[in-house]
A and B are shown apart, each in its own frame.
Chain A
Amino acid sequence: MAIALQIKGLRKVYDNGFEALKGIDLEVTEGDFFALLGPNGAGKSTTIGIVSSLVKKTAGDVHVFGHSIQTDLAAAKREIGVVPQEFNFSNFETVWDIVVNQAGYYGLNRAVAGERAEKYLKKLGLWDKRDVASRMLSGGMKRRLMIARALIHEPRLLILDEPTAGVDIELRRSMWEFLTEINRSGTTIILTTHYLEEAESLCRHIAIIDGGNIVENTSMKALLRQLQKEVFILDTPEVITPDLVVEGFDTRYIDEHMFELVLKKGSSLNEVFAALNKQGLVISSMRNKANRLEELFVGLLNAK
């Protein structure tokens, strides 16, 4: 499988001195449905901005299907379709003109542009609105207009920045279905979101970004598994060794009076103590290990 997007050591310091990206690495394989999840201000839009050349990188490398944005930008741009977070089309142009002109910017002649425009406007439910000035569209339609525009040159990589922000539940579902369909037909998709639920139902791989750093990069399954457990730190007055075993639970030795124990969500602390009692191990105190990822998620979920 080709690598659709490869990001290495990417840093961004804005003109005002703010460091929005602190050296991130990311790899997305062809055909993937990838989520970049993170709270507001994490650096998601900055990352997408750099990949689509609207933001200048401070350091690092980006390759799109093997084309460096540094040395082979035009080839990289052809592979990408971007749906930005903010509306960025002319208010006075019609839906049709916006999409067909964009095709022109990619060098597609008007005949091809017209066919493609019809195909994508129909798929996205905008065909009836083709002669309407874009400012007359609802928020959800504007978002879909940007998706049609991003697909008009049939890029292999589609990047959507918070595509469902401000889109109601009903339309969100149909947008998800549409994205799943084009992903199935071979288009690699990356979307950013701060809704865990959205990433969960759509994406196969996920990276989590916070404060300009990638804090997690894994498959969705592994991430969910990881979130299904809780880690405790237990202190004992007795002397333990690294080969300590507590039946039925994963543990990790810290020092001779301290160890970690993993509790899967759904099992109870009573079971932990039953097992410890059986071994005759005395516990003097116990605390929850602060897990950065979990804290982040609690934050994300509360932010909803």
Chain B
Amino acid sequence: MTLAEQWVAFYTIVRKEIRRFLRIWMQTLLPPAITMSLYFVIFGALIGSRIGQMGGFTYMEFVVPGLIMMSVITNAYSNVVSSFFGAKFQRFVEEILVSPMSNNTVLWGFVIGGVARGLLVGLIVTLLSLFFTSLHIQHVGVTIAIVLMTSIMFSLAGFINAVFANNFDDVSIVPVFVLTPLTYLGGVFYSIDLLPDFWAGVSRLNPMLYIVNAFRYGVLGVSDVNVTTAFLMVGGFTIAAYAYCMYLLSSGTRLRQ
């Protein structure tokens, strides 16, 4: 296929992916908007006023970046895992598998679909947060870069999950049992400076800590960890996940009998 044809194929997948999550907005866009508004009300406004300052900011200011990032991560991941698994489950992934488009086109089509939902939900949550606090983004480049890289990374991870999933339980296991707890423990709600040394050390093994803090650095200008390290880590994971996805597609693992 020519480059122009690959582009048409890529655009076809992206368009279809975006239309899918917009069509089922009650399942995709509404829940994070409600959940995050509740977080803002409870942690930010009600409890937050009693907590006082955290890292030199009001508690509300402190939690907002982490909550935005959490929404981006779970939504990018969930979009790709449920869409691609659905295609496998109903077998219409075969429409793609019999076509001449390249594996890169297939993969990036789904990944950009996931990125689109991650970013849209991130934007919705950001707008909602403005009812509770004001945001003055300190480092625009860092903010945009970390959101993009993270949403790509978790879209790729969602793709891997979809390839191996055998049923709808396998689709929700990772978001519920891995992503959410790791994000909660990854410094969304507290600075790890507050933890005893041992638990602060353990926290440093959690990749979410780096992502949440890099984003918080972009927005607030403060971070518990080295931001360069965070970028290197996200970049490393993204490249590894991409390579693995390409391997899965070219070997036909779980896709071709």
Contacts and interface: CB of A to CB of B under 8 A. Distances in A.
A97 B12 CA distance: 10
A184 to B, nearest CB: 25
A101 to B, nearest CB: 6
Contacts of A131: none
B200 interface: no
Given A91-B90, A104-B12, A105-B12, A55 B256 contact: yes
Nearest to B1: A107
Interface in A84-140: 84, 86-92, 97-98, 101-102, 104-109
A189 B12 CA distance: 28
Interface stretch (A31-39, A75-83, A198-206, A246-254): A75-83
For the complex of A and B, the 10 pairs showing the least CB-CB separation, nearest first, are: A107-B5, A104-B12, A105-B99, A88-B91, A74-B100, A77-B100, A88-B94, A55-B257, A90-B92, A107-B8
Contacts, number: 83
Interface of B: 1-2, 4-6, 8-9, 11-13, 16, 23, 86-87, 90-92, 94-102, 252, 256-257
A199 B3 CA distance: 41
7 contacts: A73-B100, A86-B91, A105-B9, A105-B95, A106-B5, A107-B8, A109-B8
Contacts of B13: 104-105
Given A84-B94, A101-B16, A75 B100 contact: yes
Nearest to A86: B91
Contacts of B5: 106-108
A11 interface: no
A174 interface: no
Interface of A: 14-15, 49, 52-56, 73-75, 77-78, 80, 82, 84, 86-92, 97-98, 101-102, 104-109, 149
Nearest to B96: A105
Contacts of B99: 77, 102, 105-106
B162 to A, nearest CB: 15
Most-contacted residue by chain A among B4, B87, B91 (CB, 10 A): B91
A14 B257 contact: yes
Interface centre among A49, A73, A101, A149 (most CB of B within 10 A): A101
